[in-house]
Chains A and B, each alone.
Chain A
Amino acid sequence: MSTDSTAHGKTPTAHVSHHFRDANQEYESGKQGIWLFMVTEILMFGAILVGYSIFHAIYPEMFAEGAKSLDWKMGFINTLVLIFSSFTMAISISFVQKNQTKKAAIAMGTTILCGAIFMCIKYFEYTHKFHLGLYPGRYLDAAKVGAEHANLGMYFGFYYCMTGLHGLHVLIGMGLITWLLIRTIRGDFHSQYWIPVEGVGIFWHIVDLIWIFLFPLLYLVG
């Protein structure tokens, strides 16, 4: 056992609520709930993804024109940042399970920082597009931006919906990890109780997972 255990010398114990058979059932029930929530996440992003594929099949040239205005280097850096944040989130769970609270807190802090870097890069991308007049849907003036296709606004509708919804998830994830960080420093989590860390971890990884697909879809393939 590590020296920076939060249990103040005592072996940390699991608190099993009366409606659960044992500690393991309580843990598994919590995790099952998170996985059910993840299914709804897949379906929400999946619906937009299906819409994108269908309209991409109908207007391939228009989507190609839209994709050209994206800088793949920005998306590439964001992919690396998000993968690194997923890694730090995963190791923070491992540290909590081993009662290494201080290391877990550092890993969580790094995860929040990576999320912030991701959002900063997103902010620069968005403001650059607004500057060029590349707004979603009917707000995009095709004549003003010199677009080859009159319906270019549709591409940016998808772009802002997908990256915006994803960005919202990053912000919510950052908030949740901040909550975890506070509770970790307070000493709430240990080798017998870490289900909130595991749950938020799974949520953060799904955010990374969605970006893994959005990056080639928006920035590379177009």
Chain B
Amino acid sequence: MAGNNHKNDPNVLHPHIAPMSTYFKVAGVLFALTFLTVIAHQFHTQLGAFAAPIAFIIAAVKATFVLLYFMHLKDDNNMNRIIFSTGFIMLAVLLIFCVIDIVTRVVEVSPL
């Protein structure tokens, strides 16, 4: 570490170092959730229509852990959080307009 005498030196970085135990815990959670996905899949006939949403909710939880702890968004600035969320906002826009297009189509038969 740079030491406290460099506290106000503009040429010295003061990185936020996450404790090693955090990485072990997050990896443990990710492995556990992967097993949970597969266990939930064994009951997909009983779950019926809920099987897909459950699988994707688990995936979203895993993704959140990766983003916050592995990609350090938890300790990052708001600018980077906003930048990354715009990707998902644009994706939602793409999906919504495509879905509106598909579901509102009317089958037309040519009179010719």
Contact = CB atoms under 8 A, between A and B. Distances in A.
A97 B27 contact: no
B2 A98 contact: no
A24 interface: yes
A221 B55 contact: yes
A14 B34 contact: no
Given A11-B3, A32-B80, A50-B91, A76 B38 contact: yes
A176 interface: no
A168 to B, nearest CB: 19
B91 A42 contact: yes
A191 interface: yes
Chain A residues touching B, majority SS: helix
Contact of A216 (B23, B37, B71, B94): B37
B23 A54 contact: no
B69 A24 contact: no
A212 B63 contact: yes
A31 B80 contact: yes
B112 interface: no
Q: How large is the interface on A (under 10, 10 to 19, 20 to 34, 35 or more residues)?
A: 35 or more
A215 interface: yes
Contacts of A50: 91, 94-95, 98
A192 B13 CA distance: 6
16 contacts: A11-B3, A13-B11, A22-B11, A39-B87, A43-B87, A57-B102, A72-B38, A86-B30, A87-B26, A87-B70, A89-B70, A194-B15, A208-B70, A209-B67, A213-B59, A216-B52
Interface of A: 1, 11, 13-14, 16, 21-24, 27-28, 31-32, 35-36, 38-43, 46-47, 49-50, 53-54, 57-58, 72, 76, 79-80, 83-84, 86-87, 89-91, 94, 97-98, 191-192, 194, 198, 201-202, 205-206, 208-209, 212-213, 215-217, 220-221
